[in-house]
Amino acid sequence: MAIVELPHTADVMFRITADRIEGLFEDAVRAMFQTMYGSCAVTPSLERQISLSADDPEMLLVDFLSELLYLSEVEDLVICAASVSLDGTTLTATVRGEPFDPARHQGREIKGISFSNLQIHKKDGEYVLEIIFDV
């Protein structure tokens, strides 16, 4: 699995590769929250369960990340890790994190997830995602 930040004129863009589609979702969470807050605790202290369905994997990813942005804002929660399970276009996930601490968690605000050029595909045996976060 790999997360690579790509140049983008106004926002933050990543290319994520993984050997399984769930890995794309897990690494997208990590890329988003590391952009927003930097590093996390070695042992996250909080856990939340998420269940979602959507029409396709791309919409499911946007809904999932949007739900985590909302959860982060409402509960002052920094997500450190996610364990994702997919069954078609239904997602169940356990996310782990810690309370927001302004002294430790510094980065860029992400306002949303862009649909621009969002596509999940398989190339050379790996799943590939390019995603843009609106900052």
| Domains of the chain by start residue, with CATH | 2-134 (3.55.10.10)
Contact 22, 81 (CB under 8 A): no
Mean pLDDT of 91-98: 96
Q: What residues contact 133, with CB distance under 8 A and at least 6 apart?
A: 11, 12, 13, 14, 31, 32, 35, 110, 112, 113, 114
* % pLDDT > 90, the chain: 84
CA-nearest of 61, 34, 51 to 115 is 61
Segment among 22-31, 43-52, 122-131 with least mean pLDDT: 43-52
109 touches 88 (CB < 8 A)? no
Binning pLDDT at 50, 70 and 90, where does residue 10 land?
A: confident
**Residue 122 predicted with pLDDT over 70:** yes
Q: What average pLDDT does range 76-98 have in this prediction?
A: 96
Closest to 113 in 3D by CA, of 94, 129, 92, 96: 129
- Tokens read off for 73: 């804002």
Q: What are phi and psi of 66, to 5 degrees?
A: -65, -40
**What confidence score (pLDDT) does residue 6 get?**
86
